[in-house]
Amino acid sequence: MILKEGSTRGFRAYNAKHLDDLLRRGGLGDEERLRIRAVATVLPFRTNAYVVDQLIDWSVIPDDPIYRLVFPQADMLPEADVTRLAGLLSAGAPNAQIQAAAHEIRMRLNPHPAGQLDLNVPRVGAEPMPGMQHKYSETVLFFPKQGQTCHAYCTYCFRWAQFIGEPDLKFASDDVDNLVGYLENHPQVTSVLFTGGDPMIMSEPVLRRYLEPLLELEQLESIRIGTKSLAYWPQRFVSDPDADDTLRLFASVVEAGKNLAFMAHFSHPREMESPVAEAAVAGILATGAVIRTQAPLIRSINDDPATWSAMWRRQLTMGMVPYYMFVERDTGPQDYFAVPLARAYEIFRSAYASVSGLCRTVRGPSMSATPGKVCVDGVAEIAGQKVFVLHLIQARDPELVGRPFFAHYDPQAVWLTDLRPAFADRFPFDPQEIPEPLVPFEAATVPQRLSA
């Protein structure tokens, strides 16, 4: 496939109402298109002209990895659910009936994994802090209201619940004063991560309104922006009307003494091949910001070592820092995209062994689970038992960070909850006694000790 030069035309989004016409472009038959549309009633679909025209190779549909990255697949959900929804669509059922069926299916897909609602939302007194999560003592996540969409949606996105129009499932806030006040009352927080959605969907004036108040907080060492924009709409930093103003804003953050870290999400090497992507990366790095890269390991998209080693080498050449290989989270169509942990470790190890030391800044495979980021360090035989060797890269309880622990080897396990502890009757993060009710960050033992 030949990638074309980046266009200066404005951003053009496609959503579910365009899906059938786009699928015709790939030569899919009527029944296949109907079943894909059925999946799209449950999981969000959004892409744009840059992804469709420049990144997807339509001659190899449905096997093209970028196509699979953004277009729903007919078998992503259980067959009975897809057949039921396809029947409703085919019969011209009322939208309310279709949405009710979709909602029932969504609620079975664990829309907020890893304690996001029960454990991660901080409170001041009895009041929850909207649009915020505080899982690790030194880091606060903030979900700016205007940044809760993306230039395109990944089919495996673990934040899919942000995009389906159900307010009770959505994190969002536009109260930056509330964020500043919370940080001032929690001086242990040294890093804020803006996430979504994608904060880079916001215009420069809106982004500035969120960033500038943080520059006065001496406690903050870093500001992070979680974004897929470098892959899905690099024009944001090159040819968009506010591209230059945005880069100047980034430079001002660096000049204020803060480490500005772009947490760039690249799932496949092709996302970095276009000239406009190269220009966007160079422009951001010229401001003094650092670009760290991360993505989950996803079946049928990047589940081989060569893809990952190519990504890491390309990122290094462009000046970015390989940072994380994640394990697909326990939400949405996990059963469809997940790679067994044993296989995930072999893919990581093989890719890691084939790159230079400068690429070995990457960590993984890592599960962002309820107790923290659990890394699979390897498979070993100890005292006659085959086990997974694991450790917590980050944890709710800082005392557990870096301590190795073990789980019985299970070639089918895809997530932490599939594992059983080895050489102990519980994992280090499991409760020793009958667990008390789950409490959010402000009331938990570790945050009480650390809070102001």
Q: Taking residues 379-386, what's their average pLDDT?
A: 96
Q: Closest by alpha carbon to 443, among 123, 218, 212? A: 123
- What's the pLDDT score for residue 169? 63
Containing 303, the helix (H) or strand (E) segment is none
For 10, the token pair is 């404005």
Pairing of strands 13-15, 372-382: unpaired
Q: How many CB atoms lie within 10 A of CB 370?
A: 20
Residue 436 has pLDDT above 90, yes or no: no
Check if the beta carbon of residue 225 is closer than 8 Å to that of residue 262: yes
- What's the pLDDT score for residue 161? 74
- What's the pLDDT score for residue 334? 87
For 14, the token pair is 């496609």
Q: Mean pLDDT in the chain?
A: 91
DSSP 99-143: HHHHHHHHTTS-SS-TTTTTTSS-EETTEE-TTEEEEETTEEEE-
Residue 445 one-letter amino acid:
T
Residue 415 one-letter amino acid:
W
- What's the pLDDT score for residue 157? 87
- CA pair distance 274, 268, nearest whole angstrom: 13
What ranges do the domains of the chain cover?
A: 13-108, 115-296, 301-436
Give 385's strand partners.
Answer: 382
Residue 214 one-letter amino acid:
L
pTM listed for this prediction: 0.90
Containing 92, the helix (H) or strand (E) segment is none
Q: Which residue has the higher pLDDT, 217 or 123?
A: 217
For 160, the token pair is 């899919």
- What's the pLDDT score for residue 449? 27
DSSP state letter for 263: E
Residue 237 has pLDDT above 80, yes or no: yes
- CA pair distance 297, 320, nearest whole angstrom: 19
Give Cα 208 to chain centroid, integer Å. 23
Q: Taking residues 167-193, what's their average pLDDT?
A: 90
Helix, strand, or coil here: 29? coil
- What's the pLDDT score for residue 159? 77
- CA pair distance 444, 425, nearest whole angstrom: 24
Residue 128 one-letter amino acid:
P
Dump pLDDT digits (tens) for 12-47: 999 999 999 999 999 999 999 999 999 999 999 999
Tokens 């390989």 belong to 322
Q: Closest by alpha carbon to 309, among 270, 268, 267, 354? A: 354
Check if the beta carbon of residue 42 is closer than 8 Å to that of residue 102: yes
- What's the pLDDT score for residue 448? 33
Quickly state the pLDDT bin for 274 (edges 50, 70, 90): very high
Containing 343, the helix (H) or strand (E) segment is helix 341-353
- What's the pLDDT score for residue 7? 42
- CA pair distance 279, 46, nearest whole angstrom: 24
Containing 318, the helix (H) or strand (E) segment is helix 305-318
Helix, strand, or coil here: 390? strand
Dump pLDDT digits (tens) for 291-324: 999 999 999 999 999 999 999 999 999 999 999 9
Give 141's strand partners.
Answer: 133, 193
Q: Closest by alpha carbon to 349, among 324, 377, 323? A: 377
- What's the pLDDT score for residue 445? 34
DSSP state letter for 346: H
- What's the pLDDT score for residue 450? 29
Check if the beta carbon of residue 183 is closer than 8 Å to that of residue 221: no
Please state the length of the chain.
452
Give Cα 217 to chain centroid, integer Å. 27
- CA pair distance 228, 226, nearest whole angstrom: 7
For 391, the token pair is 């450790």
- What's the pLDDT score for residue 124? 82
Q: Taking residues 368-385, what's their average pLDDT?
A: 96
Dump pLDDT digits (tens) for 55-92: 999 999 999 999 999 999 999 999 999 999 999 999 99
* Architecture in CATH of 115-296: Alpha-Beta Barrel (3.20)
